[in-house]
Amino acid sequence: MWRKSKPYLLLLPAIATIVLLFFGGLFDGLLKSLGYFPAIGETRLELTAYAEVVQSDGFWESLELTLRVAVLSSILAGILGGILGVSLFLLNEASKTGQARVWHRLFQLPLTIPHLVGGYVVVLLFMQSGLLSKLLASLGVIDELTDFPVLVNDPFGWGIILTYAWKEAPFVSLLIYPVLSRIQRSWRDVSRVFGAEKWNFIREIVLPVMLPSWTIAVFIVFVFTFSAFEVPFLLGVTYPGMLPVYSYQLYTSGTFADRPEALAVNIILAALTIALGLVIYYFSKRWQVWKGWA
């Protein structure tokens, strides 16, 4: 019995620390969002902060921006990551293992770059006085630097979307490539025997095999971008900001009395993330059942 429980006991200190810091902080934030704030003499539990947040126009504009950025970022990263993963699989399937290994390392390079550095790279490249606008102006494509579209610190959030798209695409490919590598080379040979072209093989074999892992990877990217702070803080506009930035502004710009609203925004953000995860999990299970019936 000791041998069986020893690994779990060795992990207990680390697990206890993570649980204490994460769930303890979440529970403390929940209490303070409900008005339990002994530092300012408030010990009653009430929903005043949530009512004020829901009635605020700034919250809904921030939520709209957050959803737009998270959806577009995850979709673009999913498409790019899917293309990268399938391309690596086709290179490996064509017996170019050395070349596939080189490209695999190259595609993983953005994973080593911190998100804050990635955001700064987007600033240098895509701002109106950045490298790309100067290049286009020197080539005569645009007359003035101001003719270049505003892609950084813009209300739509294109700078944030571009950053997360190229930063998270290798992550998506990294998750789906091991699944694709399990496809037997003989499957391709059998498909050739039955006259299937490469596109038919990709559509009928490759895409269904990678779709569950691809869906999970896209959802992970969505959750991450939905609750991320540093890139939206660097590349976003002052108003409206994404929900994490909006919460930070409430927490730092106001008094102690305003902090329950900031924490209420965080709790709502966590609740929305959990709800979206349950929805994705439900439809993923339904899709698997439907595929089994089909």
Domains of the chain: 62-253 (1.10.3720.10)
For residue 137, pLDDT over 60 is answered with: yes
**What is the rounded distance in angstroms from the CA atom of residue 103 to the CA atom of residue 101?**
6
Work out the mean pLDDT of the chain and round it to a whole number.
Answer: 77
pLDDT digits (tens, 9 = 90+) for 86-127: 777 777 665 555 555 666 667 667 777 777 888 888 888 888
For residue 237, pLDDT over 70 is answered with: yes
Q: What is the pLDDT of residue 207?
A: 77
**What is the rounded distance in angstroms from the CA atom of residue 69 to the CA atom of residue 168?**
13
The answer to whether the CB of 213 falls within 8 A of the CB of 182 is no
| Concatenated DSSP letters of 119-162 | HHHHHHHHSTTSHHHHHHHHTTS-SSGGGS---SS-TT-HHHHH
Q: What is the pLDDT of residue 72?
A: 92
For residue 229, pLDDT over 50 is answered with: yes
Q: What is the pLDDT of residue 293?
A: 46
- What's the mean pLDDT in 234-248? 82
**What is the rounded distance in angstroms from the CA atom of residue 273 to the CA atom of residue 267?**
10
Q: In a 3-state reduction of DSSP, which class is residue 46?
A: coil
- What's the mean pLDDT in 60-69? 88
Q: What is the pLDDT of residue 294?
A: 44
**What is the rounded distance in angstroms from the CA atom of residue 126 to the CA atom of residue 161?**
12
**What is the rounded distance in angstroms from the CA atom of residue 292 to the CA atom of residue 285?**
11
Bigger pLDDT: 72 or 59? 72
Is the pTM of the predicted complex or chain greater than 0.85? no
With the C-alpha atoms ordered 149, 154, 155, 160, is the resulting torsion angle positive or negative? positive
Bigger pLDDT: 114 or 165? 165
pLDDT digits (tens, 9 = 90+) for 8-38: 777 777 788 877 877 777 777 777 777 777 7
